[in-house]
Amino acid sequence: MTRLWLMLTLLLLCGQATAALALEIRFRPQAQAQGEILLLGEVAQILPETPENRLLGDLTLFRAPAPGEEELHQAADIRAYVQRTNPDLAEAAWGGAEEVRVIRAGITVDQAQINRILQDYLKAQQDNLAATTTSLEIVGRIAPFVLPQGKLQVDVIPSDPAIVNSNRFTLIFRIDSRVVKNLSVRVQMQAMAQLVVATTELRRGQIIGQGDLQLVEAEMARLREPCQDLDELIGKKVRRTIRAGEPIECYSIEFPPMVQRGELVTIVAAKGSLTISARGLAREDGKKGDVIKVRNTSSQKDVHCRVIAPGVVEVEF
């Protein structure tokens, strides 16, 4: 009798242990999606919390809402989908909320933040600009938008390499190094710098003297080729009439070629910290900034180079 009682007690205890270990899936009333695909472990608590059951939490369900948005799902629909795709879970005990509100977190970007991004970009580029001070104002309204969660990086590309003449900036948003959005922003630039200004009217064909010019802090945005070196203009000929008080642009002045046809020049090719030089023969005249044809005296091949200094031209590679 005692032995039979012991066996019955053991069977009862084993049954209770088995029931205690039975799989239970309880839906949460609210869940937060971390990525693009919703996981079972995000919408439901899986009991008991064993290593095997934690793996069940990684079962994929369906696409999560867009960043910053939410969706309402019926627990019965989620259960039916899980049982259809994973028949082994049909015997699990299902419970919890009847509806699951799924929210996907995101990074909200508004116009104020975009303005800060552009202002920070200008500040970082200040040492490379000809202007002494720069600022910008966004034209129009930019509606807020939401990006996925993750490490945010923003690349800023001006519409003009000189930056101060840009009327538009392209912003490339990356999350964890992956491009998630491109945005084009219209701007109005303000850029103050020391510019050469005519003190009196300069007529076409006139030779510029020392008293005809002065340096003045003035707006340089929207100027194509503003002159900032007063000394380089003395003795040069005026190509078009310039009014008194008008900033002088380099295309209005007749500069002698910095490189003359038939002149031996140094060809410089630079990339990062690497610089290569070669000898060349100029095939045409060129002022500073002009692109001219130069023959490499070693290879006897013609290359297009930009004039950067007297007797020096630059080619990109």
Q: How is residue 223 written in tokens?
A: 């100027």
pLDDT at 12 over 50: no
Last residue of a domain, one of 105, 123, 158: 105
Positive or negative: CA dihedral 245, 249, 251, 257? positive
| 177 falls within a domain | yes
Residue 185's pLDDT band, with cuts at 50, 70 and 90, is: very high
Q: Is there a single domain that holds both residue 187 and residue 200?
A: no
* Residue at 1 is within a domain: no
Residues contacting 228, CB < 8 A, separation 6+: 130, 193, 194, 195, 196
Q: How many domains does the chain have?
A: 4
Please list, in sequence order, all residues whose beta carbon lies within 8 angstroms of the beta carbon of residue 126, skipping any fewer than 6 positions away.
134
The CA angle 129-134-136, to the nearest 5 degrees, is 125
Mean of all residue pLDDT scores within the chain: 88
| Measured distance CA(75)–CA(73) in Å, rounded | 6
Percent of the chain residues past pLDDT 90, beyond the cut? 62
- pLDDT at residue 8, as a whole number: 31
Whether residue 4 is predicted with pLDDT greater than 70 in this model: the reply is no
**Residues 6+ positions from 280 with CB-CB distance below 8 Å:** 264, 265, 266, 267, 294, 295, 296, 297, 303, 305, 313
In a domain, 3, yes or no: no
Long-range contacts, stretch 293-297, CB < 8 angstroms, 24+ apart:
294/265, 294/267, 296/267, 297/264
pTM over 0.85? The answer is: no
pLDDT digits (tens, 9 = 90+) for 243-279: 999 999 988 998 888 899 999 999 999 877 788 999 9
Query: What range does the domain containing 186 cover?
Result: 108-192
How confident is the model over 46-98, as pLDDT tens digits?
A: 999 888 888 999 999 989 998 888 999 999 999 999 999 989 888 899 999 99
* Residue 186 sits in the same domain as residue 210: no
Other CB atoms within a 10 A radius of the CB of residue 165 amount to 17
Same domain, 113 and 166: yes
Higher-pLDDT residue of 111 and 162 is: 111
- Establish if 4 belongs to a structural domain: no
Residue 178 lies in a domain: yes
CA diameter of the chain? 130
**Residue 63's CATH number:** 2.60.480.10
Average pLDDT rounded to a whole number, residues 23-50: 92
Residue 281: closest CA among 262, 300, 268, 298? 262
157 bridge partner residues: 170
